Amino acid sequence: LAKTTQPISMDSYEGQEVNITCSHNNIATNDYITWYQQFPSQGPRFIIQGYKTKVTNEVASLFIPADRKSSTLSLPRVSLSDTAVYYCLVGPFTGGGNKLTFGTGTQLKVEL
Amino acid sequence: GAVVSQHPSWVICKSGTSVKIECRSLDFQATTMFWYRQFPKQSLMLMATSNEGSKATYEQGVEKDKFLINHASLTLSTLTVTSAHPEDSSFYICSAPREQQFQETQYFGPGTRLLVL
């Protein structure tokens, strides 16, 4: 599984856009990029998943450059409730259950 | 959306006893489920892969005789921590993959907090 590297922590203020970049230099051709959010004492929650270019949903956007060696999770206009740990994961779609290897994640702290 | 539940949400037990944690996929079937453990301020660590109808596969360093996994049906996997000790106190989380539109998404349970006294 491709190893990922993210910043350990980030600080922001309410209303700002937050961009969290993840490096995955060894990403394989059949790997997808998935981001999860985790609040304390809760299981991770799926945010967004993509393979290339740009993906957008009601929560976030995911930007993936052509070489796919990195990806950026973009959270528009964050609020205090977005304070959480964000994990970037890379792995193949096996169709039978894909083992996920979690890295350190990025602790995002949003302040007033 | 897909929902995965866990029961109990928290449990306190005495050292030496066994504790069973259930993981259910509520609105989809899962032939494979995963069990993770998370210590405070740390990331999730995969413990084992639960396979319906066959034996679980364990990650390196995880004692299969201590952490018994049974995938009884397509919607239920159980993790039993046998002869629990204080060092087994942790946050246990399960997940189940769901295939949708040629992509696979892992849905996680809310977690079970285990405290061994």
Tens digit of each residue's pLDDT, chain A (112 residues): 568 999 999 999 999 999 999 999 999 998 889 999 999 999 999 999 999 999 999 999 999 999 999 999 999 999 999 999 999 999 886 555 677 888 889 999 999 9
Residue tagged 């069990």 (tokens): B35
pLDDT at A93: 66
Closest to A12 measured CA to CA, from A90, A106, A95: A106
**Residue B16 to chain A, least CA–CA distance (Å):** 25
Residue tagged 């049974």 (tokens): B70
Q: What percent of chain B has pLDDT over 90?
A: 82
pLDDT band at residue B106 using 50, 70 and 90 as cut-offs: confident
**Rounded distance between C-alpha atoms, residue B97 and residue A50, angstroms:** 16
Residue B36 pLDDT more than 60? yes
**Residue B5 to chain A, least CA–CA distance (Å):** 10
Residue of B93, B103, B111 lying closest to A49 (CB–CB):
B103
Interval A36-64: pLDDT, tens = 999 999 999 999 999 999 999 999 999 99
Q: Looking at chain A, which residue has its C-alpha nearest residue B114?
A: A41
pLDDT band at residue B13 using 50, 70 and 90 as cut-offs: very high
Backbone angles phi, psi at B80, to 5 degrees: -110, 120
pLDDT at B102: 64
**Rounded distance between C-alpha atoms, residue B77 and residue A85, angstroms:** 27
Touching check for A1 and chain B: CB below 8 Å?
no
Residue of B45, B99, B109 lying closest to A95 (CB–CB):
B99
Q: Which two tokens stand for residue A39?
A: 């609040």
pLDDT at A92: 80
**Residue B61 to chain A, least CA–CA distance (Å):** 15
Subunit contact B106:A46, Cβ cutoff 8 A: yes
Subunit contact B110:A42, Cβ cutoff 8 A: yes
**Rounded distance between C-alpha atoms, residue B72 and residue B77, angstroms:** 6
Q: Looking at chain A, which residue has its C-alpha nearest residue B94?
A: A43
Interval B45-102: pLDDT, tens = 999 999 998 899 999 999 999 999 999 899 999 999 999 999 999 999 999 988 766 6
Q: How many C-beta atoms lie closer than 10 Å to residue B99's C-beta?
A: 14
Touching check for A44 and chain B: CB below 8 Å?
yes
The residues pairing with B108 across neighbouring beta strands, listed in sequence order, are B95
pLDDT at B1: 63
pLDDT at A110: 97
Subunit contact B46:A101, Cβ cutoff 8 A: yes
Q: Looking at chain B, which residue has its C-alpha nearest residue A87?
A: B43
